[in-house]
Homo-oligomer: A and B are copies of this chain.
């Protein structure tokens, strides 16, 4: 059976994300680097890790772990709404809830709901949203702010579901694999890269992005990270529409391989939202093939 390692304890959003990829053996792993190590070692077939949170920003630990050591690639993404279930022991009423437990971010993201619905509950922090559920089950606290999936693991009751002060918050997860497993293009694909550019060359990032723009490639995300401490060289994480099996993307990657200090391919995979990633006019595979054929004819004097 396929084994998917995921970051964090049982019952968190990452497990919930992992389960969207289908039937598998799901393995809880303590840290993101350990998830990656498990995939590299073949102890898991895939790893599921968070990469971006629309409230909290990039999950830098994941990005950095992907850019170092032996390469892994993303083969899928899932975007989950950040909506919590409030889990209680069966039969618990609002007036019974004296304590509400969660990871600090969980408490923060439902604070307004808590103030309105459980004004007398005292907040207590736990090491994860799942630990909160466990501690509610143990009778230590009264209510847990948890991922919905936590209810799979603990026989608790949903006091409320779909709870979130910020309505549009989402977290984006990637399913990682060894490089052999490149998924086929679907027409709704995203490609991720990590590119190292020298600090002391103004214009080198503009040039890098021009390599994408000139091929009509639509950038969907960029993050810079100083490479050593806050100064010196920079690493840029880029997400853009298209698949490395497509010529415009392959061509852009080759250009970045030449021009940047270093470039690492982090995967081409179906976009979670299914929005199309077709090429802009003049940048289809046919356009690339026609251009190459023309140049070959010239080179061969035909």
Interface residues of A (CB under 8 A from B): 53-61, 63, 79, 103-104, 107, 123, 125-127, 168, 170, 172, 179-182, 199-200, 202-203, 205-207, 209-214, 216-226, 228-231, 234, 236, 244-245, 250, 253-255, 257-259, 265, 273, 275, 280, 282-283, 287-288, 290-292, 294-295, 298-302
Contact = CB atoms under 8 A, between A and B. Distances in A.
A230 B200 CA distance: 32
B209 A299 contact: no
Q: Report the copy number of this chain in the oligomer.
A: 4
A180 B302 contact: yes
- 3 shortest A-B CB distances, which residue pairs? A57-B60, A203-B213, A206-B209
A52 B255 CA distance: 31
**Interface residues of A, dominant DSSP:** mixed
Nearest to A246: B299
A225 B57 CA distance: 8
B302 A179 contact: yes
Contact of A254 (B103, B180, B292): B292
A221 B236 CA distance: 9
